[in-house]
Chain A
Amino acid sequence: NAGVTQTPKFQVLKTGQSMTLQCAQDMNHNSMYWYRQDPGMGLRLIYYSASEGTTDKGEVPNGYNVSRLNKREFSLRLESAAPSQTSVYFCASNRGGMTGTYEQYFGPGTRLTVT
């Protein structure tokens, strides 16, 4: 099992450019998440998808959109990148539901720089 995979690993964008960050998991998890991590800020939730076909805003959704393409894949799109979106982006997944462990599994991260 690859677990949670993310592409690309690194990206540099100019202000105003758009891009999509890809995430896939092979653990048959129901729920998937996108976080951003900035120095001294911990991880902050951007968007999540509790199950296939649903998406919801997290703590910091402005400037982003998401698509839950199928059960495996959850993408994050920046329509018009801004320097404030320079960050490390992590995708995560977990089994979901109200029973069982709530451990989230994280992808390796995408380091995005917007100039």
Chain B
Amino acid sequence: EDKVVQSPLSLVVHEGDTVTLNCSYEVTNFRSLLWYKQEKKAPTFLFMLTSSGIEKKSGRLSSILDKKELSSILNITATQTGDSAIYLCARWGGGADGLTFGKGTHLIIQP
């Protein structure tokens, strides 16, 4: 059973649209949830969420954690073609064994 489930797995929208990406996670030993953006190369860090209900924001991107629903969303407003990427969600269980990643959402922004 997957510990991190992302939806949708792929999404195509037009420039200017707002998108919401979803991530649900297994609660066992949960400490934090992280979002990464992956373009052609290495994933780059976006947000780390530990507390429920506190929104983290960076420009047009924002994210929030809901510990009751065991989920997180990543919002992107006024999308641009440069937002096209794979968005990865990962959970940290508090151990030294690193992050458990979801399969990612492949987002395509059409001009």
Contact = CB atoms under 8 A, between A and B. Distances in A.
Contacts of A56: 96-97
A106 interface: yes
A104 B99 contact: yes
Interface in A32-64: 33, 35, 40-45, 48, 50-51, 56, 58
Interface residues of A, number: 29
Interface in A74-101: 90, 92, 94, 96, 98, 101
Interface of B: 4, 9, 31-32, 34, 41-45, 48, 88, 90, 92, 94, 96-104
Interface of A: 4, 31, 33, 35, 40-45, 48, 50-51, 56, 58, 90, 92, 94, 96, 98, 101-109
